[in-house]
Amino acid sequence: MADDAVPTGGDEMDQSVQDGGDLGAASVPSSSLVECRVPAKLKETREEMLARHRREVKELQGKEIEMKKAAAKGSKAAQKAARKAIDEEIARLDAKMKKRHAAELVVLLGSDEHDLVGVADTNGMDVLVRAVAGVGLAPPASRAPTKMSRAQRWRATKATQEAEREQRIQEEQRSVLSSRELEDRQLEEKLRPLDFTLREIKPDGHCLYRAVEDQLSVYGPPKYDFMGLRALAAMYMRQHREDFMPFIGEQGDGNSTAEDLEVDAERKFEKYCDEVESTAAWGGQLELGALSHALRQHIMVFSADLPVVEMGKEYETGATDGKGGVRMGPPSLRVSYHRHAYGLGEHYNSVIPAVTPSGECDTYSA
C-alpha cells in the first residue's frame, strides 16, 4: 500500500469490526481488530490522535460487552468457557492496541521507524508525555540528558500531569466497564429463576418513563407514551403536593421566616413538576410512586444488590381490597434500576418475561 493511502488506526478498527460478522456465543473478534501496525504517514494532529485512541478504547470495551451478552446463552459450562475465551482474546487485543497507540505516537513525534520497537514496548508513558507536550523524540544516539530551561521544565510538568490525567480517564473507563459487567451479571442471576429477562431502554433522560411505557405495552397497546407518563406523574404530584413537597421543598438560609420558606417551597415544587412534565430530567422513586398511584398499578423495581422495591402494593392482583375481598386488576409493572449502566449515571430498563405471552422467546432489544 502506498504511503499516501495508509489508513489511520481508527479506520482499521472500524473495518475490522465490520468484518467480524455475526458473533456467536463463544465467538471472539478477528485478530485484525487492533493489529499493532504503524502507518507510514498519519494525517492527524496530536489532539486528534489522542482523541481517536480514547475512542478506540471505548469501542473495544463496547465490543466486549456485546460479545459477553451474546455468550450469556446455553449451559453454565458453555457460558463459562465462552466468557474465558472472550476475556483472553480481549486482553490480547487490548495489549496490541496499546502497543499500536504508542507506536503511532512515536511516528507522530518524528522518530525513525527502526527506533519504534523499544520505545513502543517499554516507554509508552514517555511517548504519551511527549505527545501531550508536543515535543519530538530525539534519535537514540543523542538522547543524553541536557539541562532544561524553566519554560521547558514547566512544559514537561504540564505534559506529565496531562498524561497522568489521560491514564486516569482510561482507568476509570475500565472501572466503569467492570462495575457494569458485575451489576449486569448479578441482576441476570436474580431474574433468571423468576423467568424474567431485561429489555434495554434508550438512555436519554426519559429511561424511567420509557421503561414503564414498555411495561404497559407487554400486555397490549399502551394508553400512554413516555411523555404522556411524564404529564401524568406531574399531574398526580400537583394534586397530592403534601405527599411530595417535604422531599422537594426549599431548606432556607437560616434567616428565612416561615412565610418565606413556604413561598420558596411552593416555587421549587412547581419548578420540579414542570421539569418532570416537559423536560428530559431523570426520574426516580418519587416519580415511580406517583405513576403507581396515577395508573393504580403495582410497580416492582429490581436491582443487583438491593431487595425488590415495591410501590402501590395495594394495587397488586391478589391483594386484599380492605373489604374482605381479593383485588383483581392489571398485572404488576417491573423495571430494573442500574447504578453503573452508563457513564452518565443511573438508568432504568424494562423487566419482561423470558417467554412472552405469545409463547415466543424474547431477545434483547434497544
Query: 296, 317 in Cβ contact below 8 A?
Result: no
Query: 3-state DSSP: the chain helix, strand, coil percent, rounded to 5?
Result: 55, 10, 35
| Measured distance CA(213)–CA(186) in Å, rounded | 25
SS3 300: strand
| Measured distance CA(106)–CA(109) in Å, rounded | 5
DSSP H or E run through 237: helix 226-239
Mark whether 340 is an active-site residue.
no
Among candidate residues 36, 53, 184, 207, the one labeled active-site is 207
Query: 336, 299 in Cβ contact below 8 A?
Result: no
Among candidate residues 112, 204, 274, 305, the one labeled active-site is 204
C-alpha to C-alpha distances, 279 to 36, 229, 274, nearest whole angstrom: 46, 12, 8
Among candidate residues 53, 338, 340, 347, the one labeled active-site is 347
| Measured distance CA(8)–CA(40) in Å, rounded | 10
Report the relative pairing of strands 299-302 and 333-342 from DSSP bridges.
parallel
- Tell me how crowded residue 61 is: count the other CB atoms within 10 A of its CB: 19
Mark whether 204 is an active-site residue.
yes
Active-site residues, by number, are: 204, 207, 347
